[in-house]
Amino acid sequence: MAHPGFYVRRFALPYPPTKYRSHKLMDNRLSGEILVASRIVDYLSSGLYESPAACLKELVNNAYDADAKLVELFVKPDANRIIVTDDGTGMDSQDFKRNFSKISESFKRESTDRTESSRPKIGKIGIGFIAANEICDIMQIISTKKGSREKIDIEINFKAMRMPDEERKRPGDSFTKADYEGTVSQAHPDEHYTHIFLKEVRGPAQELLAGARNRGESKSLYGLSPKTIAQRLRDPNLRSWEDFDFYSQTMLEVALNVPVPYVDHWATKKYDEVLSSFTNRANSLDFRVVFDGTELRKPTLFEESDESFVKTFQYEGKDVSFESYFYVQHGVLKPQDLNGVLIRIRNSAVGKYERSFLGFPSSIGTLFQRWLSVEIWADDRLESAMNIDRKTLRVTHPAYLELVDAFHVQLRAALNEAREKLYEQPSRKKKRIRYKQELDIIKEVSEAARTSVSSVTADQMSAEQNHRVLLKKYSAIELIEIVLDVSKRTLSAKERKLLMDELVREVLSK
Amino acid sequence: MNRPIDAALSQDRPAKRAIRQLWLREVRRHPANGNPIYLTLPGTEGKDIDLLINEGVIATTETGAIAAEDIGKVVAVESNSEAVLSLQRKYPGLRIHNNTLESLMNGGGPYAWPNKNISRDMRAKVVNIDLDKSLRAECGEEVSFPLIKIIKKISQLHRERPNAEPAEPWSLCVTVNSTIEWPEPAVRFFFRFLANNCSEHQTFKESAAATLGDNLVNRIIAEYQSLTFNHIDPDDRAKLLCIFLPKLIMCEINDHHWEAIDCSTLSYGGNEGHAAMTTITIAFRVSNAPIPSQRYASNICNIFPGLGRVLDNGTIELG
């Protein structure tokens, strides 16, 4: 969802993103090396994150990559200052200089794409901290690294990047993103943490996060336990997460994206077993995020329903492999935010639930598409298809194309199953019930007729009178229908055909 | 993070508990309408905030966060970012200013004022400035006490409310280390200030004599130009500070038409490894006395009934 006023376009005029260096002219041929000016990163970061939630989840994912087990976020009371703190490996001054002094180079996956504890790193090109730049003017980092006696306390001033070019330019055509200054003090070598303070949070982001832009009487999830939040999310009256205030929507978006566990019985107890591989996978990551004192769990929760089913699939392909589940229930999914397909790569979600089901024709099973929620946990090969915004995938990437094809096959199967299990079978069942009710009526009528007839002497009861008694209660058409229904249950096909022929002849002769 | 201030503020000995009860009394003195009701420098532990929660003044949610309806009722001031984090962890949702009180107030000067939000917070019904440091004196062209200047500005903010709203009663709580380490001009100012009051206000002199003894009061009047703290017994020194501090506050805020309706000045600690401390609570309301000198005379005489000491077992002994 785009929020008016959040985007800040910093540079009105285009700036050439490339320059030519060490070019040479030989035999009328011009050759040379094209270098990307560091300022291109400014362009990339500008508006990169569509909402404050996107920035926060980027910082949480950074903590995950630092092997943190616990991340705490503090946004309330007014989001003027946001704190993100983790118990990850931390940084010393060397790490800081390496990672921050020139952000166009990344060391995140320099030697390995796994963390010390073998977690697959979510971040790839080291621009996660630019997220901070999108929502605040000053970022303070206090950190110490395990085994190091250094504690750094550094303040980065993002305001610098909004200075005129001539003031921002450094020798060698390198642009400084933000100036920093700080201190190094003593720390105990056993300590390891990173505290990030986002200060002077910029107006629109602050207003949104603090809930100042709430519409009317929005509900809030602030200060609630995971159990209570689960109850609120399962409230049948909840149409969408937008029924909550923006603060809560931010909380839910972060929870959806980052590698936190699912709520117990998230898809109801009935499906615990069939979905256990997904539940166990998320829980085994040993990663907790606490948001203003509330522990976050994935907000993927489905309500108790007899008319639902879950289908899991596994796909092993040439360019991509993935595991997915399809949750289908009779009726439109609520909250509607869960309707669609959510892709996870390296345990982190790519954007939100995508409601076009990766370009699946909307004409196929239109009704059932709205009954469906899908998660796809893809393998690392899909990562290279991910755009820098981490919320979309490149539609031309071979891994993505293969995933889409395989997914659409699964989706067709799921939609067919939905049609059969949740629509046609119940429809047949309903018909059976209706027939049974009609039969009961016939029995009742027959009984009533018998009683009525027995009170009249046989010689008084002419065929004509019998007809009148029945026609008082039923029309001729209804009587024929009743006769046909009874014949279905009591006669063989041959006899039924004979009866039909006789009836048709009789009706036509009238 | 291991700061002496946090150790001092987190003390749960009976004397400190008794003082927190005094702060609670001040909070309850005022109606809970309008926010904030309490501004504090709580350290990392926030024992005073604990008390407000336990006493039901502030509600918390099921996760321990400050309840949405009570956010902004309590405001903390803490300059150290790591201490801010500790507080925020303990009380999610608590409004905390990550700055010094002095910076928030834009110093003690009369020209630079805090912004709207900070001004609102400084107008808390109870402003509790709990320090582990002693009162600092600055000697330029004239002797000044930065903390008192800040208090003066806070009192002015209370007096001058936005949209010409009428000023409301409020309370000030101040705690400082009783140690006096001032340069000579400040010491001279101290004795001259007391001597002048004794000379000019007979009631004040009589009350001071009842507390300090005739001998010391007469010495102050006669020798204020040469008297030093070394000449005075440590117990009397603490009592002198207990008189001087509220008197100085009354003097500074006199221009803003505040009348002290209740004032306690208590000393505590000073033994068993605990620093000697002085704590003051003053409840103010708008004064009806039109003449400043009348107001001042009345205010400084209000100091003496509340003078006393908090014993180690938490008992308050007046007199």
CATH no., domain A51-213:
3.30.565.10
Give a yes or no: residue B212 inside a domain: no
Who has greater pLDDT, A129 or A381?
A: A381
Q: Does B64 touch chain A (CB under 8 A)?
A: yes
The more confidently predicted of residues A112 and A421 is A421
pLDDT at B197: 87
DSSP state string for A398-416: HHHHHHHHHHHHHHHHHHH
| A223 close contact with B: CB closer than 8 A | yes
Q: How many domains does chain B have?
A: 1
DSSP bridge partners of A29: A26
Residue A2 confidence class, pLDDT cut points 50, 70, 90: very low
* Number of Cβ atoms within 10 Å of the Cβ of A348: 21
pLDDT at A203: 81
Taking CB atoms within 8 Å and a gap of at least 24, the contacts of B291-299 are: B292/B254, B292/B255, B295/B254, B295/B257, B295/B259, B296/B250, B296/B251, B296/B254, B297/B201, B297/B203, B297/B204, B298/B259, B299/B250, B299/B254, B299/B258, B299/B259, B299/B260
Q: Which residues of B touch A196 (CB under 8 A)?
A: none
Chain A residues in contact with B96 by the CB 8 A cut-off are: 81
Helix (H, G, I), strand (E, B) or coil at A141: strand
In the three-class reduction of DSSP (H, G, I as helix; E, B as strand; rest coil), residue B38 is classed as strand
Which H helix or E strand runs over A195? Answer: strand A193-201
Q: Where are the domains of chain A?
A: 51-213, 215-301, 305-451
What type of residue sits at position A201? V
A288 at the B interface (CB within 8 A)? no
A vs B, Cβ pairs < 8 A, gives 69
Using the 8-state DSSP alphabet, how is residue A151 labeled?
E
B215 domain residue, yes or no: no
Q: What is the pLDDT of residue A461?
A: 57
Q: Give me the residue from A74, A142, A225 closest to B63, CB to CB.
A: A225
**Predicted confidence (pLDDT) per residue in B102-144, tens digit:** 999 999 888 899 999 999 999 999 999 999 899 999 998 889 9
Angle at A486 between CA A484 and CA A490, to 5 degrees: 115
- Judged by CB atoms closer than 8 Å, whether chains meet at A142 and B82 is answered as yes
Which one, of B65, B208, B240, B137, lies nearest residue A77 by Cα? B65
In the predicted model, what is the mean pLDDT of residues A391-410? 92
CA nearest to A86 within chain B: B85
Under a CB-based contact definition with an 8 Å cutoff, are residues A83 and A74 in contact?
yes
pLDDT in tens, A491-502: 888 888 888 888
Give the pLDDT confidence score for residue A8 in this predicted structure. 30
Range name among A31-40, A49-58, A419-428, B106-115 with the lowest pLDDT average: A31-40
Contacts of A397 (CB under 8 A, 6+ apart): A382, A384, A385
pLDDT on residue A510: 66
- Categorise residue A341: left if φ over 0, alpha if ψ from -120 to 50, beta otherwise: beta
Is B60 an interface residue toward A (CB < 8 Å)? Answer: yes
Q: Which two tokens stand for residue A274?
A: 């069939």
pLDDT band (50, 70, 90) for residue A162: low
At A326, give phi and psi (nearest 5°): -120, 120
Q: Any chain B CB within 8 A of the CB of A361?
A: no
Average pLDDT, chain A: 81
- Those residues with Cβ within 8 angstroms of residue A3's Cβ, 6 or more apart along the chain or in another chain: A50, A51, A204, A208
Amino acid present at A239: R
Identify whether the C-beta of residue A143 lies closer than 8 Å to the C-beta of residue A151.
yes
The verdict on a CB contact (< 8 Å) between A293 and B61 is: yes
What's the whole-number mean pLDDT along residues A355-369? 88
Question: pLDDT tens digits for A431-475?
Answer: 788 888 888 887 887 777 777 656 655 555 566 666 666 667 777
Please report the residues numbered 71 through 130 in chain B whose beta carbons come closer than 8 angstroms to any beta carbon of chain A.
71-72, 81-82, 84-85, 88-89, 92-96, 98
Residue A69: is its pLDDT beyond 90?
A: yes
C-alpha separations of B168 from A289, B285, B304 in Å: 43, 7, 25
pLDDT at A10: 32
Residue B129, amino acid? I
- CATH at B77: 3.40.50.150
Cα distances (Å, whole numbers) of residue B141 to A282, A322, B2, B33, B252: 68, 78, 38, 43, 18
Quickly state the pLDDT bin for A3 (edges 50, 70, 90). Answer: very low
DSSP characters for A97-114?
HHHHS-TTS--TTSS-SB
List the domain range (segments joined by +) for residue B282. Answer: 4-192+234-309
What's the average pLDDT block by block, 10 residues per block, for chain B (319 residues)? 68 88 95 89 92 96 95 95 95 96 92 92 96 91 93 94 86 93 92 90 87 90 90 85 90 86 91 86 88 78 85 88
Q: Which of A75, A82, A83 to mutate to test the interface with B (most CBs of B within 10 A)?
A: A83
CB A245 within 8 A of CB A218: yes
| Distance (Å, whole) CA A322 – CA A223 | 36
Say yes or no: A496 contacts chain B, CB-CB below 8 A: no
Contact A223 B95 (CB under 8 A): no
- The whole-angstrom separation of Cα A352 and Cα A50 is 12
Residue at B175 is within a domain: yes
| CA dist., res. A456 & res. A364, Å (int) | 62
| Cβ atoms of A60 and A84 closer than 8 Å | yes
The mean pLDDT value for A345-360 works out to 93
Bridge-based pairing state of the strands A372-378 and A321-329 = antiparallel
Using pLDDT thresholds of 50, 70 and 90, give the confidence band for residue A161. low
Token look-up 């539940």 returns: A279
H-helix or E-strand spanning residue A21: strand A18-26
Tell me which chain A residues have a C-beta less than 8 angstroms from the C-beta of B60: 223
User: What's the pTM?
Assistant: 0.81
Assess if residue B11 is contained within a domain. Answer: yes
pLDDT of residue A21: 42
Contact at CB, A77 and B67, closer than 8 angstroms: no
Separation CA A139–CA A178 (nearest Å): 10
Least confident of A160-174, A255-269, B169-183, B279-293: A160-174
Closest to A19 (Cα-Cα) out of A32, A8, A6: A32
Helix ranges restricted to H, chain B: 4-9, 14-29, 47-54, 81-90, 101-104, 116-122, 146-159, 184-200, 202-212, 214-223, 234-253, 292-301
Q: Where are the alpha helices (DSSP H) in A8-82?
A: 40-45, 52-65
In a domain? residue B301: yes
Cis peptide, bond prior to residue A335, ω within 30 of zero: yes
Report whether pLDDT(A376) > 70: yes
A231: contact with B, CB 8 A cutoff: no
Q: Do domains A51-213 and A305-451 have the same CATH topology?
A: no
Residue A280 has pLDDT above 60, yes or no: yes
Cross-strand pairs, A373 = A327, A340
Taking the alpha carbons of A346, A351, A357, A359 in that order, is the dihedral positive or negative?
negative
Residue B157: which of B99, B208, B112, B103 has the closest Cα?
Answer: B112
What is the nearest CA distance from A74 to chain B, expressed in angstroms? 7
Give contacts of A230 with chain B, Cβ < 8 Å.
none
Q: Is residue B228 part of a domain?
A: no
Fold entry, domain A305-451: Ribosomal Protein S5; domain 2 (3.30.230)
